[in-house]
Chains A and B, each alone.
Chain A
């Protein structure tokens, strides 16, 4: 029943797209005032998608296996929480969620943009409706979440247990808010370009949307990373896996856009940058969806999928790209009045430098991600691009990037002289000495690390100082930059000071290394709702006599029959102690991995600080208005 309502709501939603387009086109030509019918129909469309989404959730909650999506992804023994999160843990449901966010955002956009010109609002709506219709058709044609199966199965196939994790339950919605938020930026930029509407006020208005999707994208990536750390049991937080990369690329573009739009708002330059970045942010998000959903990528996260869907997204994606190229080249007039009128040492230059760095990082990630696809098509050679590629190309360039981040905000618009040079240099010397001290004391002699730590410390101190000296003029920017320096520092220390032991142990055996003694005391079994857990008890004695007991788990899920490892992690402010256990069928030995990872929690924390900076900027905006 719920499925049926859900399906018809989808059809109604699609029909409303036509009605909205009809009203909008009429309104665009005729009257001077914005037709309220449009807002009403947009709301109605949003409402229908919500009903459809709720219908799917209900089908999941009541385990209605006559629905194919539920049958494929749920099971009666699954806890309620994961039944609900299972709704968007699969292809069909996640696309419905896309659609939900798309309609929600355009509705919010119409409400929030009352002070903008009528034509601009309608044109944005029209572009957005093109995207919405694309997704409606995609959903109904190739991945209908409400397919009916008969005869009705008694039991579902279950959700991949690796997805049964709290962080991953909320990861897709948050990430989609970011991805889809960029669609509003895309449509309104196209609208503004074709109407030649780009102005300082427009930048101010668009900035809110950039900030919103930037915050959600940042948090979404964070959640994915947290999930990888806790659930995958590899003891890392970023693996340069293609699926991770496709979420990073829109983030890089969006971050650059955020900086450009600040310039646009204040100085009305860099308009071409803003237009191109707005287009590419959304294109990259769509491209990410395509790469992940079509199964074209060879990634550890790939799940078996249907090529027909890939083809649809691909064609749709390129239609959007060509549409935006067309609009850009035919309508965009570079009305940068102030072009060339800024001095080389100014805020504009520093932001431009920042842009070029970001573009460089973006192209590195992009090339690393799609190169294997190209090579396979052209030469049918199968390859993969590993972390060393990214590390080698990105890490050295972080140094000037960090330094520019520290100095850039100190500069003034148009033309600037460095003031307070003394303390800038002083801080640099302090950071340099501090990092040499740290690196020496721990006997790690590596030039690159020293310089990197130096520049990260530099940014750290400079932003820290600003908290105390500056009035709250640019607080949000300072917070985010501070968070970024903290992030880089934590990642660096985490990499440099991590310790790892991987060994195979039988129950009762003891492993002795230079730094720890690991004693595998016993195992016990526990039956849970939908899995059997084997819990190991391992005692770790470090050199200075500290004893810690860790209890990693192996979970054997009943449906689908999959084994996963649950890491046991002891977290405190300075270090994480991380242990996973695994076994191979018919073997006595257990595969044990013990890691000491310093500053893990600071990595999560600093990303939160970064996005908090964005949030603050958004709230300030509201306050001013």
Chain B
């Protein structure tokens, strides 16, 4: 028979192992649930189906597309290949304007309409969201 100490040790290691596996599982699971994917208007056009998941759309705010009302702001995000209409009510960041890069977070209504819940700000005027850059590069 093993001594009490060895048993205790074994039990302890087992406990740590179980906790470790459990927490890794937990982390991975919530990663899967809470990750927000980035898509360009073109990628949205070729989506097989509209999911009820939060996504980010990035591109340029199309010139002359922005209109602001009391409740909401409407504009068009373009990657110069495809476009998507965005409806947004909420806080606008400082550097948000026509002809500049933008990343909007929210839900797709259909392939042409996007309900944004958040518009992301950048601190640097010449900075372009990497997603936007990549999307623009692909064109």
Please determine if A and B sit in direct contact within the complex, based on CB atoms under 8 angstroms apart. Answer: yes
Residue numbers of A with Cβ under 8 A of B are 160, 162, 232-234, 298, 300-304, 340, 356, 360, 363-364, 367-368, 371, 381-386, 388-389, 392-393, 502-505, 509, 560-565, 580, 582, 584-589, 591, 593
Residue ID in chain A nearest B36 by CB atoms: A384
Report the Cα distance A587→B93, complex, angstroms.
Answer: 15
CB within 8 Å for A383 and B37 given contacts A371-B31, A563-B95: yes
Which residues of chain B come closer than 8 Å to A371, judged between CB atoms? Answer: 31, 35
Q: Which of B9, B34, B94 is A563 in contact with, Cβ under 8 Å?
A: B94
Which residues of chain A come closer than 8 Å to B124, judged between CB atoms? Answer: 160, 302-304
Report the Cα distance A509→B71, complex, angstroms.
Answer: 13
A585 lies within 8 A of B98 (CB): yes
A587 lies within 8 A of B56 (CB): no
Report the Cα distance A393→B66, complex, angstroms.
Answer: 39
Chain B residues within 8 Å of chain A by Cβ, number? 47
Report the Cα distance A385→B28, complex, angstroms.
Answer: 12
Besides A303-B127, A382-B134, A563-B94, 20 more A-B contacts (Cβ < 8 Å) are A160-B124, A298-B129, A303-B123, A304-B124, A340-B8, A364-B27, A367-B31, A382-B37, A383-B35, A383-B36, A384-B38, A389-B31, A392-B33, A503-B70, A504-B70, A582-B91, A584-B68, A586-B66, A589-B68, A591-B73
Q: What number of residue pairs across chains A and B have CB atoms under 8 A from each other?
A: 120
CB within 8 Å for A502 and B30 given contacts A382-B38, A585-B97: no
Residue ID in chain A nearest B121 by CB atoms: A300
Report the Cα distance A234→B90, complex, angstroms.
Answer: 11
Residue numbers of B with Cβ under 8 A of A are 5, 8-9, 19, 23, 26-27, 30-31, 33-38, 54, 56, 66-73, 89-98, 120-127, 129-131, 134
Q: Which of B26, B120, B121 is A393 in contact with, Cβ under 8 Å?
A: B26
Report the Cα distance A528→B129, complex, angstroms.
Answer: 31
Which residues of chain A come closer than 8 Å to B95, judged between CB atoms? Answer: 562-563
Which residues of chain B come closer than 8 Å to A392, judged between CB atoms? Answer: 30, 33-34
Q: Which of A301, A356, A386, A584 is B92 in contact with, Cβ under 8 Å?
A: A584
Which residues of chain B come closer than 8 Å to A298, judged between CB atoms? Answer: 129-131
Q: Which of A301, A360, A385, A591 is B34 in contact with, Cβ under 8 Å?
A: A385
Which residues of chain B come closer than 8 Å to A561, judged between CB atoms? Answer: 125
Instruction: Name the distance in Å between B46's Cβ and chain A's nearest Cβ.
Output: 15
Which residues of chain B come closer than 8 Å to A364, judged between CB atoms? Answer: 27
CB within 8 Å for A582 and B35 given contacts A303-B124, A504-B68: no
Report the Cα distance A336→B34, complex, angstroms.
Answer: 42
Which residues of chain B come closer than 8 Å to A301, judged between CB atoms? Answer: 123
B73 lies within 8 A of A504 (CB): yes
Cβ contacts A to B, 12 pairs, < 8 Å: A300-B122, A302-B122, A303-B123, A304-B127, A356-B19, A360-B23, A383-B38, A389-B30, A389-B35, A504-B68, A504-B70, A587-B66
Instruction: Name the distance in Å between A304's Cβ and chain B's nearest Cβ.
Output: 6
Residue ID in chain A nearest B127 by CB atoms: A304
Which residues of chain B come closer than 8 Å to A505, judged between CB atoms? Answer: 70
Instruction: Name the distance in Å between A381's Cβ and chain B's nearest Cβ.
Output: 7
Which residues of chain A come closer than 8 Å to B93, judged between CB atoms? Answer: 582
A381 lies within 8 A of B94 (CB): no
Residue ID in chain A nearest B125 by CB atoms: A562
Instruction: Name the distance in Å between B106's Cβ and chain A's nearest Cβ.
Output: 12
